[in-house]
Chain A
Amino acid sequence: DTAVSQTPKYLVTQMGNDKSIKCEQNLGHDTMYWYKQDSKKFLKIMFSYNNKELIINETVPNRFSPKSPDKAHLNLHINSLELGDSAVYFCASSQRDRGIAGASTDTQYFGPGTRLTVL
């Protein structure tokens, strides 16, 4: 059983197009994330949702719009794609900690990634 799944795995598209990436988790977690991994393999948070509420928006261009229809799903829609959007996008999920120091229950589990190539 796949814990965190993403579709599609590969996405090749032209500049200016609009595309979406879907993410689903079956771990019962209440928090989901989008991370971007650039060509140098550096990973950076983009968004975080807790129970369908946006709680992190990390200075991402507003061409990127996350949507969480329920706490098991977090989709990423990208408008007017640019060359610089080419990257691997990872979805992740966790159970948000309750401020308990040292809690290990907040481990984030990642999806397989979506490699986006903008031509």
Chain B
Amino acid sequence: AQKITQTQPGMFVQEKEAVTLDCTYDTSDQSYGLFWYKQPSSGEMIFLIYQGSYDEQNATEGRYSLNFQKARKSANLVISASQLGDSAMYFCAMREIYNQGGKLIFGQGTELSVKP
């Protein structure tokens, strides 16, 4: 069964430092996609970054990068040069490419607090 695990309920980071948010997943499929979303206190879900299971290079989007280790089934999000506005809940999610309907399976989330 598909499963996403985020083991860090809460994280603190100093402004301007880098932080890694952990995500491990479990799937028996070879083709899948991994996503990270940010949910600030205002409540909306903001797409950050995507990694396909066949992508050979780690995805990057501005200050966000995804440390994809396929053999270990991990897809950690790295935020460089943290800003106060990065304080939010972060969700890792997975979608199996061939599953019916394309549903996302979410992890429990990690609440990140950036300290000034």
The distance from the CB of B109 to the nearest CB of chain A, in whole angstroms, is 5
A100 interface neighbour in B46, B47, B97, B109, Cβ under 8 Å = B97
Q: Which residues of B contact A112 (CB under 8 A)?
A: 43-44
**Complex interface: stretch among B14-22, B51-59, B74-82:** B51-59
* CB pair A110 B97 closer than 8 Å: no
Q: Is B25 interfacial (CB 8 A cutoff)?
A: no
**Complex interface: stretch among A16-24, A40-48, A74-82:** A40-48
Instruction: For the complex, give the distance between the alpha carbons of A36 and B28 in Å.
Output: 26
* Binary A-proximity of B95-111 (CB < 8 A = 1, otherwise 0): 10110111111101100
* CB pair B53 A102 closer than 8 Å: yes
* Binary A-proximity of B47-67 (CB < 8 A = 1, otherwise 0): 100101111000000000000
B97 interface neighbour in A90, A97, A109, A113, Cβ under 8 Å = A97
Q: Is A96 interfacial (CB 8 A cutoff)?
A: yes
18 further interface pairs, Cβ-Cβ under 8 Å (given A44-B106, A101-B53):
A31-B102, A33-B103, A43-B93, A45-B101, A48-B101, A48-B102, A55-B100, A90-B45, A92-B45, A102-B31, A103-B97, A104-B33, A104-B50, A107-B35, A107-B50, A108-B104, A112-B43, A113-B43
Scoring B35, B91, B102 by chain A CB atoms within 10 A of each residue's CB, the highest score goes to B102
Q: Which residues of B contact A96 (CB under 8 A)?
A: 102
Scoring A56, A101, A113 by chain B CB atoms within 10 A of each residue's CB, the highest score goes to A101
A94 interface neighbour in B31, B53, B102, B109, Cβ under 8 Å = B102
Instruction: For the complex, give the distance between the alpha carbons of A62 and B43 in Å.
Output: 27
Q: Which residues of B contact A113 (CB under 8 A)?
A: 43-45
Instruction: For the complex, give the distance between the alpha carbons of A43 and B101 in Å.
Output: 16
Instruction: For the complex, give the distance between the alpha carbons of A50 and B31 in Å.
Output: 21
Q: Is A1 interfacial (CB 8 A cutoff)?
A: no
Q: Which residues of A contact B50 (CB under 8 A)?
A: 104, 107
The 6 closest A-B pairs by CB, nearest first: A102-B52, A56-B101, A110-B45, A48-B101, A102-B54, A101-B31
In the complex formed, the residue of A with least CB distance to B109 is A41
Q: Is B89 interfacial (CB 8 A cutoff)?
A: yes
In the complex formed, the residue of B with least CB distance to A106 is B102
